[in-house]
Amino acid sequence: MIAVNDAQTKHLFDNRYGTGQSTIDGIIRATNVLLAGKRFVISGYGWVGRGVALRAKGMGSHVIVTETDPVRAVEAVMDGYEVLPMETAAKVGDIFCTATGDKSVIRREHMEQMKDGAILANTGHFNVEIDIPALKSLASETREARAFVDEFTLADGRRLYLLGDGRLINLAAAEGHPAIVMDMSFANQALSAEYAIQHAAELERRVYPVPEEIDKEIARLKLETMGIEVDVLTEEQAKYLASWDEGT
């Protein structure tokens, strides 16, 4: 088995640029909400979270990140975002988007603190990142506000809006990634399958990373299709990088 999702030409591009753009596309298509001026809460600052944060910020949102990993939280702070625990973010956020790959990221205690009109979406995993049963139990009334938007009216009159039944919003309400970024993901799958077949006799039964030469070849081909050229190391430079003969 080859872990295609861990390839650099997959997660650094498909996850960040593809999901980043298509998530925003899905939220806007579903709601027609103006992102400028909104407090946009993103749960998870992996490559998907980074991509969504960058685009939400670019459209004028005040981006808030929630994280459990201190390293990623530091990254988010240094990238210019506010980092808060979900308990605090729940009280101030206008739009919430989970991107963690875990379950019950937005729970009952968070929903009980949210503002009237808060929008809930998911772009990281199955429809378990938002605790939908808890949302339903809090609601005194539920209706379809528009396609892909369910309105939950709580006992105190506040309304929360769940997008796409909590499923991946970029697929539920939009068209997923543009082909121009998916091509690298598919190239990883195809070339990794070819590699596995060609080396089947010598490979052990375990999970392998995508070979570095495949990753780099996909990047090279991508640049070629874009009409972009890069420098090539001189023999002297390559020798210098591979040795300890010079330098301090």
- For residue 138, which amino acid is it? L
Of 172, 193, 224, which marks where a domain is finished? 172
The residue segments making up the domain with residue 122 are 11-172
Residue 168's beta-bridge partner residues? 122
- Determine how β-strand 62-66 pairs with β-strand 39-43: parallel
Residues ≥6 apart with Cβ < 8 Å to 181: 13, 14, 17, 18
Both 20 and 121 in one domain: the answer is: yes
Q: What is the DSSP string of 150-214?
A: EEEEETTS-EEEEEGGGSBHHHHSS--S-HHHHHHHHHHHHHHHHHHHHTTTT--SS-EEPPHHH
Q: How far apart, in whole angstroms, are the C-alpha atoms of residue 239 and residue 136?
A: 64
Both 85 and 167 in one domain: the answer is: yes
Predicted local confidence at residue 246, as pLDDT? 81
Other C-beta atoms lying within 10 Å of the C-beta of residue 79: 15
Give me Rg for the CA atoms of the chain: 22
Predicted local confidence at residue 248, as pLDDT? 63
pTM for this prediction: 0.93
Q: How far apart, in whole angstroms, are the C-alpha atoms of residue 13 and residue 179?
A: 12
Q: Are 184 and 226 in contact (CB under 8 A)?
A: no
Both 46 and 121 in one domain: the answer is: yes
Q: Which residues of the chain have pLDDT under 70?
A: 248
Q: Is residue 242 part of a domain?
A: no
Q: How far apart, in whole angstroms, are the C-alpha atoms of residue 222 and residue 229?
A: 11
Both 145 and 203 in one domain: the answer is: no
Q: Is residue 240 part of a domain?
A: no
Q: Are 58 and 82 in contact (CB under 8 A)?
A: no
Q: How far apart, in whole angstroms, are the C-alpha atoms of residue 51 and residue 25?
A: 12
Which strands sit side by side in the sheet containing 62-66, from one edge to the other? 82-83, 62-66, 39-43, 95-98, 118-122, 159-163, 149-154, 139-146
The two tokens of residue 210 are: 């995508």
Q: How far apart, in whole angstroms, are the C-alpha atoms of residue 19 and residue 11?
A: 10
- For residue 242, which amino acid is it? A
Of 172, 188, 219, which marks where a domain is finished? 172
Task: Give residue-wise pLDDT tens across range 165-223.
Answer: 999 999 999 999 999 999 999 999 999 999 999 999 999 999 999 999 999 999 999 99
Task: Work out how many domains the chain is built from and give that number.
Answer: 2
Both 98 and 210 in one domain: the answer is: no
